[in-house]
Structure 1
Amino acid sequence: MGLARKAVADASITFLWVFCMASLGAVSTEVAPLLGLDGPGKGKGKMYIVFALVSFLIFFFSFLGQALGGASWNPTALVAFSYAGVSKDDLFTLGVRLPAQMAGAVGGALTIMEVMPKKYKHMLGGPKLKVPLQTGVIAETILTFTITLIVMWALLRGPANRFMKTCIIIGATIALVIAGGAYTGPAMNPANAFGWAFVSNQHTSWEHFAVYWAGPMIGTIFAVWAFKLLFGGRSAPKAPKKKASSKKAKKSGSGVSAAKSKKVEQESSDDVAGKVKAS
């Protein structure tokens, strides 16, 4: 797939991701009464519905990303796998794909703002900083470090079953969202944060850059370092190749021995022939 197509795919899937994630509040509010999960004593009903929907969306978008040739809706994922040497992305391709994700996020945020019914518009919005700036940067750094390391382990070193890989990522995502909710939202996705910051005209603020870009990117780089330190790079050494090479060496060695013995035989036969002629 060409770079232009990748950029379009990234923008499209990020658009859909931001749109769908922003609609979870309204959808859970509508679904909760149908499932009998609203009312007194059932305050966590909507939360369970949201978690179920998030799980479904991660499964769906993982499949969609593969179908679109490796499209991604999170800049930290592109940076992590590029820096780890797993993907073919370099600074140039990242310079094209990341802005495409940002544009897709802005489009998703603007679109959901237009189509969302008025009674649910108060539920819309991106991650918000709820702590001092320094604490927010540290929180996003740690959260992104953790999710990136888990995702890299699950995809590159985890179980072979793709369903299990996705389940691990879902569990980690939900746990970190709960853990970071009181700090930064959380985001762990600079493109999503940028889309909503653009809508509220906060995308050029130092707070947005420091918390939702610098923090996650620092966490991503440290996660790649930790992954390489703990798991030794992107792929484990393959024993079959060594066996094949040893077999090849044995074959070449036996070939050399055969050639030497043949040469000795030839020399001895020449000596015999010479003696016969001399006699």
Structure 2
Amino acid sequence: MGRISLVVSDLVLSFMWIWAGVLVNILVHGVLGFSRKDTTGDIVRYLFSVVSMFTFALLQKLTNGGLYNPLSALASGVSKGFGSFVFSVVVRIPVEVIGSILAVKHILHVFPEIGKGPKLNVAIHHGALTEGILTFFIVTLSLGLTRKIPGSFFMKTWIASIAKLTLHVLGADLTGGCMNPAAVMGWAYARGEHITQEHLLVYWLGPVKATLLAVWFFNVVFKPLTEEQQEKPKAKSE
């Protein structure tokens, strides 16, 4: 029953994540009227994005580990052992992709004039390297936050949100700075470009390899937490 609820949470959160990004853009550029070339508009959008990330971090906590990003599911699966890895790859990641595809279809039905998602503005290998580097840093940081401050929800979420936003801005003009294959897949599927070399190499292969490398690197540099160490934050919070 626990795994079923987790899968349902993944589906719902993936759906909501795509909608959240679209609604932030509509709010900033449509309702508030900021131009897409206006620096003030960008700042306001970034602020709403941070609020959105805090909201989803809270939802993840409330759902006991629901995810909307296949890279997070992959990193978690690899870190927890073979059984968890298989479950993540065979069940959780496909469900997150389905949630994203359904969300984009729903968005395009409600707002037919909406954008078409991230675009690659550099060569394929350059794009794959960019998404890979961004992913490596955010996965390594996420693992580090879990290890160093496992009991501080606000601090972890604040650091992770600012880091994700910073990396997104750095990669926005190159690949979109996505670091979320499922989200990109939703838009690519809507355009009929989900099986192109560009999509698979840049938004899947690069980030997936970077995630595996980040988990390996982190486990080599830092010793895994023992069960006793994992229980300490829980005891303190109680």
Q: TM-score, normalised by structure 2?
A: 0.88
Distance of aligned partners of 1:87 and 1:169 in 2 relative to their CA distance in 1, 3 Å threshold: farther
Q: Deviations over 1:179-214 (max 9, x none)?
A: 101211121001001101100000111111111110
Is it true that 1:131 corresponds to 2:122 in the alignment? yes
Aligned-pair identity in percent equals 30
**Distance in 1 between the 2:25 and 2:86 partners?**
37
Distance of aligned partners of 1:71 and 1:187 in 2 relative to their CA distance in 1, 3 Å threshold: same
Q: How far apart are 1:88 and its partner, in Å?
A: 6.7
Is it true that 1:22 corresponds to 2:13 in the alignment? no
Q: Which amino acid aligns with 1:109?
A: V
2:32 alignment partner, SS class: helix
Q: Match for residue 208 of structure 1?
A: 199
1:48 alignment partner, SS class: helix
Q: Match for residue 163 of structure 1?
A: 154
Of 56, 59, 65, which residue of structure 1 is paired with 2:54?
59
Is the Cα–Cα contact under 8 Å of residues 32 and 45 in structure 1 kept in the other structure?
no
Distance of aligned partners of 1:86 and 1:50 in 2 relative to their CA distance in 1, 3 Å threshold: farther
Mean Cα deviation higher: 227-236 or 150-159: 227-236
1:127 alignment partner, SS class: coil
**Distance in 2 between the 1:84 and 1:14 partners?**
22
Q: Match for residue 77 of structure 2?
A: 82
Number of equivalences = 230
Q: Deviations over 1:92-143 (max 9, x none)?
A: 343111111000000111111122274xx2xx22221110011011111101
Q: Match for residue 3 of structure 1?
A: 3
**Distance in 1 between the 2:84 and 2:97 partners?**
17
Mean Cα deviation higher: 151-160 or 103-112: 151-160
What's the C-alpha RMSD, in Å, of the aligned pairs?
2.4
Is it true that 1:111 corresponds to 2:106 in the alignment? yes
Q: How far apart are 1:218 and its partner, in Å?
A: 0.6
Q: TM-score, normalised by structure 1?
A: 0.76
1:23 alignment partner, SS class: helix
**Distance in 2 between the 1:190 and 1:93 partners?**
14
Is the Cα–Cα contact under 8 Å of residues 85 and 234 in structure 1 kept in the other structure?
no
Q: Which runs of 5+ in 1 are unaligned?
A: 242-279
Q: Which amino acid aligns with 2:187?
A: W
Is the Cα–Cα contact under 8 Å of residues 10 and 96 in structure 2 kept in the other structure?
yes
Q: How far apart are 1:84 and its partner, in Å?
A: 1.7
Q: Which runs of 5+ in 2 are unaligned?
A: 233-238
Q: Deviations over 1:32-84 (max 9, x none)?
A: 35xxxx58xx9211111111111111111111122223110001001112212
**Distance in 1 between the 2:12 and 2:96 partners?**
8
